[in-house]
Amino acid sequence: MHFEMIDWALLGGYFAVTVTIGLYYSRRAGSSTSEFFLSGRNLPWWLAGTSMVATTFAADTPLAVTELVASDGIAGNWLWWNMAFGGMFTVFFFARLWRRAGVMTDVEFIEIRYSGKPAAFLRGFRALYLGVFLNCVIMGWVNLAIASILQGLFGIPAETVLWYVAIAMIITAVYSAASGLWGVAVTDVFQFVIAMAGTVALTIVLLDLPEVGGIAGLRDRLPEATFRLLPVIGDDLGPANAFAITVSAFLAYIVIQWWASWYPGSEPGGGGYVAQRMMSAKDERHSLFATLWFTVAHYCLRPWPWIIAALATLVLYPDLPEAEKKLGYVYAMRDHLPPGLLGLLVAAFLAAYMSTIATHLNWGTSYVVNDFYRRFVRRSEGERHYVLVSRIATAVVMGISLLVTAHMETISGAWAFIIEAGAGLGLVLILRWYWWRVNAWSEIAAMIAPFIAYGFVRFATEIRFPESLFVIVGFTTVVWLAVTLATRPTDEKTLVAFYERIHPGGFWKRIANKVPEVQGDTGLTGLFFNWAAGVVLVYTTLFGTGRLIFGAPLEAAGFYAVALGAGYIIYRDLSKRGWGVVGE
């Protein structure tokens, strides 16, 4: 592969625009920690939502989709498509509540919902566990992905490729530390446009190759089962290249995982950088529509260019060993892109990488500074002091993540471990909004219990993921409920203040009776209908686009008609609630 002058110009232009945006917002970010971490709570819905979409488009995402399609066909994407259930739940039940809470981080929420030393311990522990340990592991994962991409494209030796990754990460840390969330969010939009343009361009080029022969050529050259949109559910293996899972595994994904397991970016009840974007929105309506736009774009807009390109790589590189299947995407870039487009695609991968890293640096630093340093170390300093510490902490977190990357060879299977190790916690994260009796000990117990159950399942049984979720979630639920009922509830003063601030619906009658002047949320049943309609909207749009691409316009029209109906149901209900129009 050879870079021409136009490729270098495109790459240089990308870096120049990215750094310029960061520097432009640096003064605004330096005024306060609210500006630095939450953009002054003034992001419009489209900017907050697109920033979420860009963050979840990491450098390794197209490679992961390529690997799934190579092993299990299009239906293999149900390993992550199933999370749309939880995404829509966050849209209708939690987006407004997070904005209403008025906190800087979802970890700070702990001490407005719970009381006493258990709440303080939980806040401090989660700040460091999520902000440093888990955050740096995730960034190490992303760093390894971009390193493998650079190796595949340029043939950079393994012993030196991390130096190139370090340069990209330092540039990202500089604009992230300088500009705060405003710069990160605006840069995210620019980077998302570049990333999507690049992936669409690659897909068009690959389809135009004589060896591929367009969509018709893919249908002729690949097994029909590869194009299934739904998994084969049963106890047999199914046809070749079809995603076949047992009934129990299907139920684990669809019925349990989306609400029971904590996973970065898909936390039950919202959380992490998704909650950060919701809390940075202009108001509750902007928060809801930002999350709705994110969920629809995440599952309906982005996947098809990756999937079509992945199918093309199966035709172009049929004999790749199993371990290299995901790199078919990179090899296709290397071997078939002309000058100009090659530079665009390299910029696209860097954009995907940098948008993810920038968010993780800003989000992780918000925990370290707001929920540990400001809470437990220096409590009464001025805003400029905390902004300065935030910028220093950004650099420190970056350095730790690079050290983690240097000592990380692979984290294959880490996603399954994270889901299992957080199985059952999700129900506490949901119910703490809607049931007054949940306390800090409930959440602590729900964090510890999955590790105990995981150890038992892993070493004392033959049960494996995802069926392991039935055991782990069941055990964790029993433990945290028992702990909840055996320990004292949250201090009544704290509960009353929380209810006055959030006024959620659900099981708050005992507390609501003490402040009859506060009107709690109503219409939760309607929100369940909105959630169901949202799930239908996502999947029918996703499937309709797939059928249209693969030459079935009548089926596509049917899917789109159902999607429009689901969208109308949502629009009508939101309009009745006064949420239907989002003002600027």
At residue 182, the pLDDT reads 84
Measure the CA–CA gap between 531 and 526, rounded to whole angstroms: 9
Measure the CA–CA gap between 221 and 325, rounded to whole angstroms: 17
Give residue-wise pLDDT tens across range 348-384: 888 888 888 988 998 899 999 999 999 999 988 888 8
User: Hey, how many other C-beta atoms are within 10 angstroms of the C-beta on 572?
Assistant: 12
Under a CB-based contact definition with an 8 Å cutoff, are residues 295 and 85 in contact? no
Q: Which helix (H) or strand (E) holds 100?
A: helix 95-101
Give residue-wise pLDDT tens across range 508-518: 999 999 999 99
Between 433 and 231, name the one with better pLDDT.
Answer: 433
Longest dimension (CA), the chain: 73
At residue 556, the pLDDT reads 96
**Residue 107 CA from chain centroid, whole number:** 17
At residue 22, the pLDDT reads 81
- Tracing tokens 């076949």 back to the chain, one arrives at 244
Measure the CA–CA gap between 407 and 321, rounded to whole angstroms: 25
At residue 239, the pLDDT reads 63
Total count of residues recorded for the chain: 584
Under a CB-based contact definition with an 8 Å cutoff, are residues 18 and 175 in contact? yes
Q: Which of 312, 350, 365, 256 is nearest to 12 (CA)?
A: 350
Average pLDDT over residues 122-142: 89
Give residue-wise pLDDT tens across range 225-271: 899 998 888 766 566 666 778 888 888 888 898 899 887 777 888 88
Q: For residue 25, give Cα distances in angstroms to 31, 176, 371.
A: 11, 10, 24
Global pTM value: 0.90
Which region holds residue 431: left if phi is over 0, alpha if psi is between -120 and 50, else beta?
alpha
Strand-pair partners of 560: none
Average pLDDT over residues 93-117: 93
Give residue-wise pLDDT tens across range 269-315: 888 888 889 999 999 999 999 999 999 999 998 899 999 999 999 99
Confidence of residue 410 (pLDDT cuts 50, 70, 90): low
- Residue 515 tokens read as 């402040």
Contacting residues for 561 by C-beta, under 8 A, at least 6 apart: none
Average pLDDT over residues 162-179: 87
Measure the CA–CA gap between 81 and 61, rounded to whole angstroms: 13
Among 161-165, 261-265, 415-419, the least confident range: 415-419
Helix ranges (DSSP H) in 370-491: 383-406, 414-421, 425-434, 440-460, 468-486
Q: Is the peptide bond before 466 cis (omega within 30 degrees of 0)?
A: yes
Q: Which of 483, 432, 440, 136 is nearest to 270 (CA)?
A: 432
Average pLDDT over residues 18-28: 83
- Residue 282 tokens read as 């202009």
Measure the CA–CA gap between 410 and 96, rounded to whole angstroms: 38
Measure the CA–CA gap between 93 and 531, rounded to whole angstroms: 9
SS (H, E, C) 366-399: HHHHHHHHHHHHCCCCCHHHHHHHHHHHHHHHHH
- Tracing tokens 């029909």 back to the chain, one arrives at 224
User: What CATH class has 1-36+43-250+270-409?
Assistant: mainly alpha
Average pLDDT over residues 149-166: 85
Radius of gyration of the chain (CA): 24
At residue 225, the pLDDT reads 87
- Residue 355 tokens read as 């948008």
Residue 530 has pLDDT above 80, yes or no: yes
Between 546 and 159, name the one with better pLDDT.
Answer: 546
At residue 394, the pLDDT reads 92
At residue 195, the pLDDT reads 87
DSSP tag of 269: T
At residue 90, the pLDDT reads 94
Confidence of residue 415 (pLDDT cuts 50, 70, 90): low
- Tracing tokens 């917002």 back to the chain, one arrives at 25
Which region holds residue 261: left if phi is over 0, alpha if psi is between -120 and 50, else beta?
beta
Residue 584 has pLDDT above 60, yes or no: no
